[in-house]
Structures are given as structure tokens and as C-alpha cells.
Chains A and B, each alone.
Chain A
Amino acid sequence: MHIVVCVKQVPDTKIIKINPKTNTLDRRSAPAILNPYDAHAVQEAVKIKKMIGEGTISVLSMGPPQATAVIKKSIEIGADRGYLISDRAFAGADTLATSYALSKALERISKEQKIDLVICGLHAIDGDTGQVGPGIARRLDIPPITNVIEVTEFNKKEKTVLLKRKIANGYQLIEAQYPCLLTVGKEINEIEYSPMPNMIKAARYEPIIWTVNDLENVDRPQLGLKGSPTIVGKMFTPPKPEGGKKLDGNADEQVAQLIALLEDKKELLFANH
């Protein structure tokens, strides 16, 4: 079983500042981290490998040379090897051009060892689109299954995988043919504390770096800024949410107020996301 996990280096948006003049992210204000959802994707690959008792986990990323840091982080979690595609030709890519470039890299990886499963994070915390995963699946012509919260079982003979995925108001059980592509969020697993041998392996590991010339059959106009039709119209800091409401009075009065409030706003009871 060969699992490839697509990972992205992102600024830590919990602490990043927005330049009030230009309304763009001030990337120097926050450290670059492995996109948290992608960390769960790598962890899930490790779990699957353990579950079926064999397999190879590759990670793939696109970015500047310093993005090798997220590949090393993935090795810490338990990946076996990592590829970074890094080239000026990829710079300025939106989700369309990114999924194109990644799918070309996946084709190349697949030539070295056939890919059975691709796992992506639900979305990156800097762009929040969630489009790259499905974009890759479409280009590789494999089924995308988004928001998977449990990988239950593999049937190697039938080449099927049993999955549980979250939908708007419940769950969906899916049996899918693999190769397929899954996207996963934080619910799917807990990131484990990496064992010491993984840490040493990661410290020593040199990721495989490919330029655009290492990929085959690439239609260059589809790469980078040229291949990106997305236009960012405006960026702004959303207004701070207003404070909550404090209920006054004695216990009975407060209970009455609360019930009235909940009856008025039923959506509060069924909010599920």
C-alpha cells in the first residue's frame, strides 16, 4: 500500500498579523508551520499503515526551499519519504494551478511506486478553500471523498476502503474503490507524540526536491501565476464579534430567560459545525 499525503507550509494564522495599509498577510509576523489538517492527514496515513501492517507513506509539498521543514515534520509523525516541488515556475499559483502541479508530481511519484491512496488536509488554514484536494482527484481521475472522519477497513482483494464521512447533518458510510483521494479534518485522529527514532530520522532526512524539469508532460501555461485565474478582490480583517449576553436575576429568572432565548433561536440547539 502506497499512501501519498499532500502537505502545505502555512503561516500560523492564530498569530499572524494583517498589514492594515495593504490588507495583506504580514508573513514575517508568524512562524511557518505544517498546516494542522495536513498533520492529521499524515497521522491517518500512519494509522492506516499500522492497521494493514505494511505500506509506504510519501509526502508531497509545493513551495519555496524552506518548505522542506514541513516534510521533515511529516517524517517526525511517521512518513517514510518526502518530495518537494520547488521552482519559480510554480510561484503565485492559485488552487487550480496548484492542483495541476501537484497532480503532475503525483504522476511522477506513481511511476516510481504505484499510488493506492492520496490523503489531503480538509483545507489550508491560510486560504481556507478546500479546493486543492478535489482538484487533484479530478485531474488524476480518482474519486474524491471529502471530510472523512474515520477509515474503517481496507479490502485488498476487492481494492475497496470503508469510510465514514461527515455531512451537513449526520454521517455517511461509504465504500470506495481505491486509488481514491480523501480529505480529512481534525476529528479523524489525535496527533501522537512522535517516537524518538522518528525525530532522529527527520533530523537526518533530506527531502527529494524536484523542479519543473523533473516533471513530465507539463503544460507550462497552466502553472504558477499564469495558470491562476483567481483574483483576490479585497482582503480585510473581519470585525470582532460582539460580546455574549449576560443573563441577570435569580436562578429561576435566568432559567426562564435562557429558555425563551433558546426557543427564539432554535438554531443554537442544532448547530453542528
Chain B
Amino acid sequence: MSEKFDVIVVGAGPAGTSCAYTCAKNGLKVLQIERGEYPGSKNVMGGVLYRQQMEEIIPEFWKEAPLERPVIEQRFWMMDKESAVTFGYKGLEWGMEPYNNFTVLRAPFDQWFAKKGVEQGVLLVNETVVLECIVENGKVVGVRTDRPDGEVYADVVVLADGVNSLLGKQLGFHKEFRPDEVALTVMEVINLSKDKINDRFNLEENQGCTIEIFGDSTKGNLGTAFIYTNKESINIGVGTTLSSMIKAKLKPYDLLDYLKTHPMVRPLMEGGESLEYLAHLIPEGGYHSVPKVAGNGVLLVGDAAQLVNAIHREGSNMAMKSGKMAAEAIIEAKNRNDFSESSLNKYREALYDSFIMKDLEKYKDAAHVFEHYPQYFNEYVPMINRAASKFFTVDGTSKKDKQKQIMRSITGERGKLKVIQDMFRAWKAVK
């Protein structure tokens, strides 16, 4: 029989590597299998890495990790065709230790993180696809890869195989996702000089900014667009739920082109050269979509467990936290030498006890509400823009009259009762 490990981790993204790293650091024999040429070669995210959960794994990682810029400003745009209502927060304290979050490029970052795991003793095998879990007597005992002599065995298999988690599906932990449970996001990395970025985004050396854009960025569909500043490039992307895309017959690349040439966005991109084009599914089903996360000899972490907070665009932090908690449960299970579902359920308990499931529960109906009541994106955003335009245009009308006109135009368009209903529904969804 082939070699047996304590743990096999499938996937070398933030969730898988956090788990592999923590297990190896605690003396477990870990095999990590990645399908890409190297960790990060297949991984995509908008580009915000949160400090807190990363630091729980590698203290002061910012001193050596390949990061782009610390984010010191978060902007939000409610964008219409030729206007935008904006708000945000800029705080210089985010530009100093211990920082809040960073922009990153996944290819270098994931490689670096995986290398830290290897330094702890993780055996990392790239360019290898795990075809299925080997199940014996109702227990996962290993995985079968696509290589000759491809079976490898372990006490616990951790599925960190991403949003589609074919392995989770194979085990019957979840079904094929519905189109409203996943978002399709496309993004481009656009080359732009440091000086231009600093000028256009009002930044100084080693300061970054993020912009989240709602409304016309998705042509009024449920989703968001984003612009993040790297050192010498910009990540620009847009995503909507697959169901919206189907309903509105949108092509993701058309949406991105629309965004890039939007008069509110174009000046920021001017003269930039496209370096990379990426696309990925994002699990946005939230609380209700989280599958079974622990079984006999198997755990699900990160995107594979659908751990993404779409409202706050958090995902990599949840991936890392879940990977770490999975590792802790495995270490305990190893001490008991019991890898059954009830033993590994410690992970499930920890997960539901953490901010991850608490946050997902808070917004458990949000996606559903916004999906079924598209007026938030396609009516209210333009309405707010018109209201702001009216309010700030100096035309001799008294401010009091302006307020009245604005209120009348809002309630007039949708009816007073409907507006109150809409507001109450939205508040309930995110309260």
C-alpha cells in the first residue's frame, strides 16, 4: 500500500495552506496537493487580504509577504449612467502597523504562503488533480489522483478545493449549486505607473485604496464592481450572481468592458495596459448554502464550504480562519486517535461559534432579498443620484422646497407605501 499521511489537504489556496501550515507546525505529517503549476496559478480574488486572520497564522507576515499596498481608504460608489453618489472612509491609522488589510496579487502571495507551509514540513505536490476521495466503510481514507500509482492515504482529508468542490459533491455533502448561489466575477489587472496611481487615487507612498461600486456598474443587476490599487497596477472587476447574468442575458466580459469605459471609471484607467484577465465563481449563497463541513475522515474549508460574506466582500479571511480551525480539530482528533465525524465535529462547532457563521447568519437573507427585489440596484441607485443632483444644484429653489421635491419624486415614483416596505425589507435583511 502507498504511503500514509496524517493529513491530506486538497488545494493550496488560503484555506488549504492555513490548514496544512498549522497541522505541520504541530508535528503532523501533511501532504498538500495542488492542481495548478504552482499555488496561486489558478486562484482568483479581487485582491483584499485581511490582516487579522493571516496574523493569527503568521505573526507580522507583512514584513516578508509579497503584498501590494496597505488599504487606507475604502470608497463606495452608488453609480448611475453619468453620475455617482460616493462615500467612504480614509484613515491613516490603517497605513501603520498592525494595519487593517492589504491589496495583494494572488499568484505571488499564494506561492509565498505555501512556501511557508513547506518550511514547516508540508509536502507540497503541484500539477496534480485529485479525482475523488477514497471511501472505505463509510469513511474517507485517502484520495485518488490523476497520476499513475495515484492513491494516497491519510487519517483525515481536508477539502480546500474551491468553490465548485467536486470532491464535496462526490461525497454528497452538497448538490450542484443553483445559479443564484454563485457569482461570476471577471477582472483585469491593468498596468499603471505608481505615480499615476498615487495622483489619480490621491494616495502617497505605500497607501492603497479600494472602491466598491453599486448600480450601473452591473447595469442595475445584483452584484458589485471593484477597483483596487496595487503597487503598479490596478485590479478592476465586476461580478453578478449567475442567475442575474442569465436573466439579463449579460456576458461577463461585456459587463467589464462597459465598466472600464464608463465615464466615472475611464479616467482612472486611462493609458493603462491590460496585463491579465481572470474569471472565477464566487460562492455567495451565504448561510443557507454552507454544506455539511465534517464527515468521517473529512473536512471542508474555505470556498469549498462556501464561506464568503458577499456583503462585506470577505472571503480570504474566512478561508484562513476555517483552515486554521480545521487544523486545530484535526490535532485534537489525532490526540484522541479518533477521526470519526463526531470527533471532527469540533471543527463544525468552532466554525459556528466564530465570527464566520455569525456574520453569514446576520446576512442570511440579504442575497435572497436583493435577488428577488431588483429595485434596490436598478431603481434606488438612480433615484439617489437624481436626488443628490437636485439637492446640490444651485438653481434658486429654497433648500426646504428641494427636500420636498426630492421626497415627492421618490415616493411619487414608487408610492409611499412601497418605499417604506422596501426600506423595511432591506433593513431586516442586513440588521
Contacts and interface: CB of A to CB of B under 8 A. Distances in A.
Q: Do A and B come from one complex?
A: yes
Interface of A: 193-197, 199-200, 202-204
A197 B125 CA distance: 10
A200 B147 CA distance: 12
Contacts, number: 36
Of B3, B147, B152, most buried by chain A (CB within 10 Å of CB) is B147
Contacts of B128: 196, 199
Interface of B: 2-3, 31, 123-125, 128, 145-152
Contacts of A197: 2-3, 149
Contact of B148 (A196, A202, A203, A204): A196
5 contacts: A193-B147, A195-B147, A196-B2, A196-B149, A199-B125
Given A196-B2, A196-B145, A197-B2, A203 B150 contact: no
The 4 tightest CB contacts between A and B, nearest first, are A195-B148, A203-B123, A196-B147, A195-B149
A119 B123 CA distance: 29
Dominant secondary structure of chain A at its interface with chain B? helix
A196 B152 contact: yes
Contacts of A196: 2, 125, 128, 145, 147-152
Nearest to B123: A203
A49 to B, nearest CB: 16
Contacts of B148: 193-196
Contacts of A195: 147-150
A199 B147 contact: yes
B150 A200 contact: no
Nearest to B151: A196
A200 B149 contact: no
Contacts of B124: 203
A222 B176 CA distance: 65
A87 B65 CA distance: 28
Contact of B152 (A194, A200, A202): A200
Nearest to A203: B123
Contacts of A199: 125, 128, 147
B123 A194 contact: no
Contacts of A204: 123
Contacts of B2: 196-197
A199 B152 CA distance: 11
B124 to A, nearest CB: 6
